Amino acid sequence: MKVTFAVLVTLMTMLTVPAPMFAKGEIVKVTITGTGLAAPIEITDRKVRDFSVWSGAGASVNGNEETEGFIIDWSQGVVAECPIGLQHYEVAFYAALPDTRLVYVVAYEYSPSTEQGYIYLLGKADQWYHLNTRTILRRREGNWFRATSAWDNFVGPLVERTTGQIRVERD
């Protein structure tokens, strides 16, 4: 009886949970769009694999939630207020599942003068919220966070080159 129940629960889960929840393909492409860009930025460099959407808050290993991963500095917590006047971008992550498909979207704002970026996990009213939460439910949606220095160092220069902004070097 217990085996039959377990099989039934497994079958029901497979039928009701969207396929992206099971699939954790490798990130193979990132696109960045925004009004300040001369053209959308498409990144297919192998380095995009370092920014897995299936890591960090919302992901767990052996029942313990991960505290590092993705493009957010989770240790800094929610940013109470994102600086005003930064250029706004939409960042889309694509995975090979086995075909390449969109799996996650965030908002990104970057300050060349401070070399600090901010990530917004889309909330319920945002266009890509349902796609994101089908991919991974972080339970922190609708909030701004600081980007990791690895992410800022990777995309900051690309954004600056495309917008023509000049990085201000710190002493």
pLDDT tens sequence across 151-171: 999 998 888 777 655 433 333
Please check whether residue 159 lies inside any domain of the structure. Answer: yes
What does the alpha-carbon distance between residue 144 and residue 108 come to, in Å, rounded to a whole number? Answer: 9
| Per-residue pLDDT at 112 | 83
pLDDT band at 4 (very low <50, low <70, confident <90, very high): low
Q: Confirm if 48 and 28 have CB atoms less than 8 A apart.
A: yes
74 falls within a domain: yes
Count the domains in the chain. Answer: 1
The pLDDT of 3-24, averaged and rounded, is 47
Q: What is the CATH number of the domain that holds 29?
A: 2.60.40
Q: In the 8-state DSSP scheme, what is residue 112?
A: T
For the residues 80-102, what does the mean pLDDT come to?
Answer: 93
Residue 13's Cβ-count burial label (10 Å; 0-12, 13-18, 19+) is exposed
Look at residue 137 and tell me if it is in a domain.
yes
Q: Domain range spanning residue 74?
A: 2-163
The pTM assigned to this predicted structure is 0.81
